[in-house]
């Protein structure tokens, strides 16, 4: 087949540089080269001088099945030949394998004879990066014309092997990072606490709701007092869902500075504001394919609520300073201890956003409503804190101390219990006489006296007296106003006429008479 050097180089280069998959590239170029030379088998090899090993990156052969002979441990003679650079020119032509130690060793290992070789020694920036080996069965099969054509392809093959090696390095790194991610996700899952204490007792109804909603993509709103474990329930929903292998991004909306909320949640483009030196993905972009947990959603300002509503409606975001919408596939789990319905009435929370978030509300009960879980929680926290503080022997807890814990109201919920256990462990570490945990200051709840709630130490009041005191205190707060949105009737949640009737019955003056008497 007669062809110009220019056309040969052009056609071959397209096949060499058009594929990052080494085997596919060699298969394609071998079929082209066999039109010009006996290219029965092509091998792309690299050499490790430290171990004297010749390794194969990829092979392509005329034969349907060719056994692999790599890696090849070179003899001292063959290794010395390679390392001293005795190859000579860019292309080495070996028509008699017994004349060259590397070819001779390979022929012996392949148990095929005779073999001819045409070698293209590849270099990038003066540094050897590998070689292309063309082999064929027989003797004296290659000539100077074959060597000339192959030499034309040095640069395309050198660039190709450099790119292939880098690409394979990236793939190895990607696989390593993927493995690391799975490992770290597993570790974080353990740290975050996927074990739900009380799932068979006080939290049983809650866990049933979790099992119902977890496999779906529905948004979830977690409600409950501070410290009841909303984040633990959010973990359980994510890791029980079909998105468990995706990212789980947690955001405390109350901890974000107001001037940086949009940038943190939605990202920003380079130069969007002073200090934005590079483009940055926001939390929603990072949660793509997984779940985003918006804790303390009630603390989100109205401007950010508007943008969050668009995310939920259109499933797109726009970075600060950006114009192009970015599609995101996320599930939103939000949580709050605040009364969002009341905030909607006060116009501090968007009603349309509340409807979007309130698809599947789960109210987590406070610890005082599930005291049967306290012994298991205490045991769990003792094990956890002993490991953190490095206490080798776990202290015991007496029945009296456990009873004290159970009788306490725990206004700070599970978080307060955890802190109490840690405090008791620290005291035990300092040297408690019997080695047991002592919970000083924990017992029946002690409430400070409040103008609306008489102290238990005072004489017990009748129900009418308590009601009279309460109504009069509310009237003071409302400047003696009964009607209207800021009136006492609205504050007490009763009809104004009902309140007046109750006030007459209790002997509470109102209207002009009250203003005159000063009550």
Position 519 in a domain: no
In a domain, 193, yes or no: no
| Domain identity same for 472 and 381 | no
Token reading at 81: 């030949």
Per-residue confidence band for 43, with pLDDT thresholds at 50, 70 and 90: confident
Same domain for 156 and 232, yes or no, is no
Residue 451 lies in a domain: no
pLDDT tens string 299-339 = 999 988 998 998 999 999 988 888 888 999 999 999 999 99
Rounded to whole angstroms, the Cα distance separating 244 from 380 reads: 25
- For residues 34 and 139, membership in a common domain is answered with yes
Residues 288 and 234 in one domain: yes
CA nearest neighbour of 297 among 341, 342, 251, 241? 251
* One domain for residues 243 and 137: no
The answer to whether position 517 is within a domain reads: no
**CATH number (domain holding residue 46):** 3.30.450.40
Q: Is residue 134 part of a domain?
A: yes
pTM equals 0.55
The total number of structural domains in the chain stands at 4
Domain-ending residue, one of 169, 198, 224 = 169
Long-range interactions of 462-469: CB distance < 8 A, separation 24+: 464/506, 467/502, 467/506, 468/506, 468/507, 468/508
Task: For residue 417, give the CATH number of its domain.
Answer: 1.10.8.60
3-class state of residue 3 by DSSP: coil
Q: Is residue 197, in this structure, part of any structural domain at all?
A: no
Per-residue pLDDT tens over the stretch 233-279: 999 999 899 998 888 999 999 888 888 888 889 988 888 887 777 88
pLDDT category of residue 182 using cuts at 50, 70 and 90: low
pLDDT tens profile 358-414: 999 999 999 999 888 999 999 989 988 888 888 888 888 888 888 889 989 999 999
**Cβ atoms of residues 17 and 167 within 8 Å:** no
**Residue of 272, 262, 349 lying closest to 311 (CA atoms):** 262
Residues 263 and 244 in one domain: yes
Among the three residues 169, 185, 215, which one is the final residue of a domain in this structure?
A: 169
Q: Is residue 111 part of a domain?
A: yes
The reply to whether 401 and 499 lie within a common domain is: no
Average pLDDT of the residues in 82-108: 72
Q: Residue 230's domain is classified under what CATH number?
A: 3.40.50.300
Domain that holds residue 405: 369-430
Mean predicted confidence (pLDDT) in 13-42: 87
How far, in Å, CA of 132 to CA of 92, rounded? 11
Same-domain status, 228 and 327: yes
Same domain? For 267 and 345 the reply is yes
Q: How far apart are alpha carbons 48 and 21 in whole angstroms? A: 22
407 with 285, same domain: the answer is no
Looking at the structure, do residues 347 and 247 belong to the same domain, yes or no? yes
184 lies in some domain: no
**Looking at the structure, do residues 124 and 147 belong to the same domain, yes or no?**
yes
* Domain boundary pick from 311, 339, 363: 363
């Amino acid at each position: 087949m007669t062809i110009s050097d220019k056309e040969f180089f052009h056609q071959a280069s397209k096949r060499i540089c058009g594929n990052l998959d080494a085997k596919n590239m060699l298969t394609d170029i071998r079929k082209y080269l066999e039109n010009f030379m006996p290219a029965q088998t092509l091998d792309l090899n690299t050499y490790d001088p430290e171990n004297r090993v010749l390794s194969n990156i990829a092979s392509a052969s005329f034969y349907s099945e060719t056994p692999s002979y790599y890696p090849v441990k070179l003899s001292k003679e063959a290794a010395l030949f390679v390392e001293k650079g005795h190859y000579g020119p860019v292309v080495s032509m070996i028509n008699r394998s017994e004349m060259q130690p590397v070819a001779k060793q390979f022929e012996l290992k392949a148990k095929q004879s005779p073999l001819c070789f045409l070698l293209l020694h590849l270099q990038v920036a003066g540094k050897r990066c590998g070689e292309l080996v063309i082999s064929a069965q027989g003797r004296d099969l290659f000539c100077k014309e074959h060597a000339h054509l192959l030499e034309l392809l040095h640069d395309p093959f050198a660039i190709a092997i450099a790119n292939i090696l880098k690409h394979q390095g990236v793939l190895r790194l990607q696989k390593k990072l993927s493995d690391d991610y799975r490992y770290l996700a597993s570790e974080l899952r353990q740290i975050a606490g996927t074990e739900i204490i009380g799932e068979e007792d006080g939290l049983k109804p809650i866990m049933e709701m979790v099992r119902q909603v977890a496999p779906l993509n529905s948004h979830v709103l977690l409600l409950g007092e501070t410290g009841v474990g909303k984040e633990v329930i959010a973990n359980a929903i994510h890791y029980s869902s079909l998105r468990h292998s995706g990212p789980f991004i947690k955001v405390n909306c109350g901890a974000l500075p107001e001037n940086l909320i949009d940038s943190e949640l939605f990202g920003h483009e380079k130069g969007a504001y002073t200090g934005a030196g590079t483009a940055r993905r926001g939390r929603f972009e990072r949660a793509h394919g997984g779940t985003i947990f918006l804790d303390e959603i009630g603390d989100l300002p109205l401007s950010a609520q508007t943008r969050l509503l668009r995310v939920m409606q259109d499933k797109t975001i726009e970075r600060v300073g950006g114009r192009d919408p970015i599609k995101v596939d996320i599930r939103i789990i939000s949580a709050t201890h605040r009364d969002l319905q009341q905030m909607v009435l006060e116009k501090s929370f968007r009603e349309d956003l509340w409807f979007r978030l309130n698809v599947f509300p789960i109210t987590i009960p406070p610890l005082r409503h599930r005291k049967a879980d306290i012994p298991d929680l205490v045991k769990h926290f003792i094990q956890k804190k002993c490991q953190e503080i490095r206490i080798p022997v776990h202290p015991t807890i007496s029945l009296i101390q456990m009873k004290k814990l159970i009788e306490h109201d725990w206004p700070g919920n599970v978080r307060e219990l955890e802190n109490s256990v840690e405090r008791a462990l620290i005291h035990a570490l300092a040297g408690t006489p019997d080695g047991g945990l002592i919970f000083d200051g924990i017992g029946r709840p002690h409430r400070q006296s409040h103008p609306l709630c008489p102290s238990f130490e005072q004489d017990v009041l009748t129900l009418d007296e308590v009601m009279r005191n309460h109504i009069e205190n509310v009237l003071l707060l409302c400047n003696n106003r009964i009607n209207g949105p800021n009136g006492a009737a609205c504050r007490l949640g009763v009809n104004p006429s009902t309140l007046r009737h109750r006030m007459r019955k209790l002997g509470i003056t109102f209207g002009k008479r009250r203003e005159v008497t000063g009550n």
